[in-house]
Structure 1
Amino acid sequence: MALGIIEPKTNQRPPGTELLFDTAVADPEHHHEHSRLQHSEGKKGDIILVPQPSNDPNDPLLWPRWKREASFAFLFFNCIIFAACPGPMIAPATVALAVELDVPIKKVAQLSGYQLLIVGALGPFVSIFAQKYGKRPQFLFASIFGVIGTGICIAGFDQKNLAKSYNVLLTGRMIQGIGTTAYESLSVAAIGDMFFLHQRGLRTALLVLTLACLSSFVAIIAGTGFQNLGARNLFVILLPIQIFGTLGTFFFLPESQFVRNETSMPAASSEEIEAKNGDHTVAKQDSIDRTTTNTSTIPKRSFVQDLRPYSGVIYNSDGTFKLLGEIFVHLLNPAVIWIQIVSAVLVSFFVGTAYTLAQIFTPPPYSLNVAQNGFFFTGALVGGILGISAGPICDFTARFLSRRNKGIYEPEFRIPVCLLAVVVFAIGWFTFGWALDHPAKGRVVLCSFCYGAICFGTSVASTSGGLYILDSFKSYSTEIFILQMMIKNFLFYAFSTFINEFAAKEGPGHMCRVFGIVTVCGFVSCIPMYMFGKVNRVWVHKLWSKYLHTKL
């Protein structure tokens, strides 16, 4: 038993278990062999690169640093403008927009609900196309439809009657959902394509910030913008920004899908062994010395060749129906059920509550206007920004526990960070519930703080869960993140159909307590996941290897 993790009864190394630190203590008998593996450089020179890069110069792990960082920058930017922006743009103005369009509040909430329903419904198809044809075509397709959807939303406010205006706006919002799907479901998996295990923490946390929490910043801007400029101009401002993001996708987000032999060990020459510096091999080019390991004659693609919308490679030759079935087979994996509990469900609680905030704080005793309803999200914005720390914390915990485990990294080392999340969640939800049960204008700040605590907890839990899946089941990460995205967005839609009536009937304080109790109970699942996660990885690997690619 390694630090509380139960060992499986097998001599084979489970997927995800890696030698992360090259120390004599880790494995004295094979230390010489370990030194032949490619390492990070500088102060992190004792970290072995996981996965080991191939000899192909087109391997995304071997891209120049500027190329990888530019790709991530536009991935991050587009997650904001295509995935994070559209949904919460009208959240602070829920009541005001209902009056403007002459529809019930529930109908305004469904402008976001139907959009998210589209996102969830398209998820499996995005997964299939990404597996077969790569991620770049999906990102380009999403960007184009995101721009089209925003343009239709602008046109919706120019209709002659309110009924038609609502229908056109609803159409635009649903098409915006098409533009959201790829960024919400493929972005975290793309990080695993381009970055090594020890480089993923902060970047995953940044994407979680955009997908789960940056909606708060959008709501702040949207509240003030709606009050001063009107709803139509919010979409007018968004349109050129999305066009810029689409151009960035075309020029700086090449195909990151790559077929790599994860278990291969690069050959090492005698000169490479002699070049050892202390206990590790010095690597160049931001982690890798390609001059000694790259003997491939494969030509390196040019910048212009990378601009092709489709790489021309079929990454998976399986049939469409087989790939579709494989997505849902992953629900048999207990780790996939666990990430739905500690990530998808919790994010849906956070977003579902947002549907009710304008309803709660517009009437007395709070009497907030649209702009003030937007500023309420300041607490969530601060909580989300602080939540970025979840990435470095997860990386620190993984390194610390790996050193304690004689240099061996287990993906379960990502899970203990959830202890921080559950404590903050409990403070946020139950204090929020108490404050709403004792309404007073002066308690708006306290409520905003509590909502921020919930946002912080959501960031920590989602980052921890996402990194665990990425490290444990890299080969299936696209399908698993698609499932997570689907369930999350179906829950978003479900909340849009009843949460406003539920909060009005039972009281917003009761709503918060229900969410708090379910959250705390859900985090109990982290204990068996940590203890039996390694056994589960072995079981899933054996089952999937035996059946998944032969019987579906």
Structure 2
Amino acid sequence: MLVTDLYSPVQKTDIVLVPQPSNDPNDPLLWPTWKREASFAFLFFNCIIFAACPGPMIAPATVALAVQLQVPIKKVAELSGYQLLIVGALGPIVSVLAQKYGKRPQFLFAAFFGVIGTGICIAGFDQSSLKHSYVVLLAGRMVQGIGTTAFESLSVAAIGDMFFLHERGLRTALLVLTLACLSSFVAIIAGTGFEHLGARNLFVILLPIQIFGMLGVLFFMPESQFNRGVVAAPAPVSSSEAVRAKEKATNTHIDEATPNHANGTSSSIVKRGFLHDLRPATGETYNEQNMLKLLLEIFVHFLNPAVIWVMLVSAVLVSFFVGTAYTLAQIFTPPPYNLSVAQNGFFFTGALIGGILGVSAGPLCDFTARSLARRNKGVYEAEFRIPVCLFAVIVFAIGWFTWGWALDHPAHNRVYLCSFCYGAICFGTSVASTSGGLYILDAFKPHSTQIFILQMMIKNFIFYAFSTFINEFAAESGPGHMARVWGICTVCGFVTCVPMYVFGKVNRVWVYKMWSRYLSDAKEG
């Protein structure tokens, strides 16, 4: 597509809605505004309380909780590690079930188990022995992982079910901010809460909030999965420019206020009522393919070199940031820092600010892509999303290597520098993740959901792996050495951006040929 098309004058009658709504009044795209916004509000709320809250709740208290339960620090880290392992393992399964039977059953199931998991965690602190307390607490954290999976895997796709392309930008950014950055804010609150109320009461406070979220799913999040006929519409360069796409295949102009309903009128279709929407499942099958085949199709994408690159840039390298969180209380609780549990929580302020500033990565990627497209005679290529990673790796290098120096020269007042460096790493993480995600959306849009599920799975597996060794690694080799190792791995890993930029278009052509051949063989079979 020519980038100059994006700046041509657009009249209201030139607007084409993407995707095109059907003639069914039950189409989520045609829901009343209050219904769509209420559904999104509870989706956003539940992403906070079920996906963002449970993981970092005990991060600032890693050392204090290890003393309380009389277990090694590594065992406390594994309380979060096993939770993330469950999320990674169930992610592809939940995605396939959603494709087959809808998203509402998955959200209800997740909310219910999230509440149960928090209740088990509360019971873990009431056991007669510390050994039983740890085992029950571990079980509760794993059940909480079941409650996290659907909200981490399906939320962005649910936005696509209910909103047109030009309505998704802000809502998607809010969800990404929630899942990627709000954990730092939770850690700040949890640190103070643990110090004044104790670990048990943190879960006691969370429980009624999660119950409220579960009731929100039950009453205000009807099934958003919908089978609608495919109506031809031009594919825009990015979501923010979707409303600028001009219809060239037909002379029919579609007004935003009166969408074109294909294949007749909606008067013959009965509109579902509020009580009908309360059913746990609609009873419909949204995909006729075998579930095993749908599951295997997710893993076929590992044959795509671009997917391997995204896993490296947006999963492996950024996992160093999350994995290091397991060690923060271990580093800053002893002298010379002498931070309390609450102060360990406040250390995450740098990451919170870095994550918020990381929202600018989206406009930065758009600006870079438009600039390169102009230099390419107005022709846009998906690989124009990659060069912004150069900025990310510079910020990463500043963060990791400066942090390594500060940790090798410990002093109480250097904790502020360390927090700044951790925030820089969080910012670099946001930029790299945004760049990789936008590249996948632009280059492999039909398969983007499956690729993102793979990315989520790999990240959570790596997070679990870190929980099994990183505390011992930091203690034996020193936290400064650990930071330098992650910095060197990050800089070397981002070198792969060069061949990806050079050969990305060739790879895209090859991938589409392979998928076309696969779909052709599947249709004939």
- Range of TM-score over shorter length: 0.7 to 0.9
Q: Hey, what does 1:360 align to over in structure 2?
A: 331
**Aligned-pair distance for 1:376?**
0.4
Moved more, 206-215 or 429-438: 206-215
Per-residue CA shift, 1:219-249, capped at 9, x if unaligned? 1111100000000000011111111221222
* Amino acid in structure 2 at the alignment position of 1:361: F
3-state SS, counterpart of residue 314 of structure 1: coil
Instruction: Select 2:409's aligned residue among 418, 431, 438.
Output: 438
Aligned residues: percent identity? 78
Whether the aligned pair in 2 keeps the contact of 1:201 and 1:392 (CA below 8 Å) is no
User: 2:256 is matched with which residue?
Assistant: 284
Distance of 2:469 and 2:520 partners within structure 1: 41
Check if 1:462 corresponds to 2:433.
yes
Tell me, yes or no, if the aligned pair for 1:20 and 1:50 is still in contact at 8 Å. Answer: no
8 Å contact kept, 1:189–1:477: no
Q: One-letter code of the match for 1:415?
A: I
**Offset from partner CA, 1:253-296 (integer Å, 9 cap, x none):** 33333345657249xxxxxxxxx9xx9957334xxx31687844
Q: CA deviation at 1:318?
A: 1.8
**For residue 511 of structure 2, what is the aligned residue in structure 1?**
540
CA contact under 8 A between 1:208 and 1:459: conserved in structure 2?
Answer: no
In structure 1, list runs of 5 or more residues that go unmatched.
Answer: 1-17, 26-34, 267-275
- Pair 1:90–1:202, CA change in 2 (3 A): same
Q: Which region of structure 1 is more displaced relative to structure 2, 351-360 or 507-516?
A: 507-516
Please state if 1:421 is matched with 2:389. Answer: no
Go from structure 1 to structure 2 and tell me whether the alpha carbon gap of 1:132 and 1:213 turns closer, same or farther (over 3 Å shift). Answer: same
> Does the CA contact (< 8 Å) of 2:327 and 2:474 recur in 1?
yes
2:354 aligns with 383
- Deviation sequence 1:389-415 (CA, Å, 0-9, x none): 223434455566667778765444433
From 142, 160, 174, the equivalent of 2:128 is 160
Query: Residue 284 of structure 1 aligns to which amino acid in structure 2?
Result: E
Compared with structure 1, are the counterparts of its residues 292 and 163 closer, same or farther at alpha carbon in structure 2 (3 Å cutoff)?
closer
CA distance in 1, matches of 2:219, 2:486: 43
CA distance in 1, matches of 2:78, 2:441: 33
Could you tell me which of 176, 179, 182 is aligned with 1:211?
Answer: 179
CA distance in 2, matches of 1:401, 1:294: 42
521-530 vs 114-123, which deviates more?
521-530
The Cα of 1:216 is off from its aligned counterpart by 0.8
Equivalent in 107, 127, 146 of residue 75 of structure 2: 107
- Residue 4 of structure 1 corresponds to none
Mapped pair 1:179 → 2:147: yes
Moved more, 184-193 or 326-335: 184-193
User: Hey, what does 1:136 align to over in structure 2?
Assistant: 104
Moved more, 470-479 or 125-134: 470-479
Alignment-derived partner of residue 254 in structure 1:
222
Give the Cα separation in 1 of the matches to 2:31 and 2:379.
27
Q: Which moved more, 1:217-226 or 1:385-394?
A: 385-394
Contact preservation (8 Å) 2:161, 2:225? yes
Contact in 2 for aligned 1:205/1:387 (Cα 8 Å): no
Greater displacement, 114-123 / 309-318: 309-318
1:329 maps to 2:295: no
Alignment-derived partner of residue 13 in structure 1:
none
CA distance in 2, matches of 1:422, 1:196: 34
In structure 2, relative to structure 1, the CA distance for the partners of 1:292 and 1:24 (3 Å cut) is farther
Deviations 1:21-47 (A, max 9, x none): 75798xxxxxxxxx9xxx895xxx977
The answer (yes or no) to whether the contact 1:68–1:194 under 8 Å persists in 2 is yes
Structure 2: how far apart are the matches of 1:171 and 1:457? 34
Q: Match of 2:343, as an amino acid?
A: Q
Aligned to 2:287: 316
Question: What's the secondary structure of 1:439's corresponding residue?
Answer: coil
Determine the C-alpha separation between the residues in 1 that align with 2:103 and 2:473: 40
Between 1:302-311 and 1:379-388, the stretch displaced more is 302-311
Q: Against the structure 1 CA distance between its residues 550 and 133, is the aligned structure 2 distance closer, same or farther, given a 3 Å change threshold?
A: farther
> Aligned pairs, how many?
507
Could you say which residue in structure 1 is the equivalent of 2:243?
none
Q: In structure 2, the residue corresponding to 1:510 is in which secondary structure?
A: helix
TM-fit CA distance, 1:172: 0.3
CA distance in 2, matches of 1:471, 1:61: 23
State the alpha-carbon separation in 2 of the partners of residues 169 and 456 from structure 1: 32
Q: Identify which of 77, 80, 86 aligns with 2:48.
A: 80
- Please tell me the root mean square deviation across aligned C-alpha atoms, in Å: 3.1
Q: Deviations along 1:165-210, whole A, 9 cap, x unmatched?
A: 1111010000000011111122233333344445544433332222
Per-residue deviation, 1:299: 4.7
What is the CA distance between 1:56 and its match in structure 2?
4.5
For 1:223, the equivalent position in structure 2 comes to 191
Where 1:92 maps in the other structure, the secondary structure is coil
- Structure 2 Cα separation of the partners of residues 22 and 457 of structure 1: 32
AA partner of residue 495 (structure 1): F
The amino acid across from 1:387 in the alignment is G
Aligned AA for 1:414?
Answer: R
| Residue in 2 that maps onto 1:122 | 90
Q: Where does residue 459 of structure 2 map in the other structure? A: 488
- The aligned amino acid for 2:509 is V
In the alignment, residue 124 of structure 2 is paired with which amino acid? G
- For residue 240 of structure 1, what is the aligned residue in structure 2? 208
Cα gap change, 1:319 to 1:291, in 2 (>3 Å): closer
Q: Residue by residue, what CA displacement relative to the aligned partner does 1:494-524 show, whole Å, maximum 9, x if unpaired?
A: 1001000111111111111111122222223
Q: 2:240 matched to which residue of 1?
A: none
Does residue 96 in structure 1 map to residue 64 in structure 2? yes
The alpha-carbon deviation at position 72 of structure 1 amounts to: 3.0
Q: Secondary structure at the match of 1:309?
A: coil
CA distance in 2, matches of 1:380, 1:202: 21
In 2, Cα distance between equivalents of 1:447 and 1:513: 14
Gaps of 5+ in 2: 235-247
CA distance in 1, matches of 2:381, 2:68: 55
Cα separation, partners in 2 of 1:265 and 1:222, compared to 1, 3 Å:
closer
- Partner of residue 494, structure 2: 523
- Could you report, residue by residue, the CA deviation over 1:520-550 in whole angstroms, capped at 9, with x for unpaired residues? 2222333333444343333222212322685
Contact 2:17–2:259, Cα closer than 8 Å, also in 1: no
Match for 2:47: what amino acid?
C
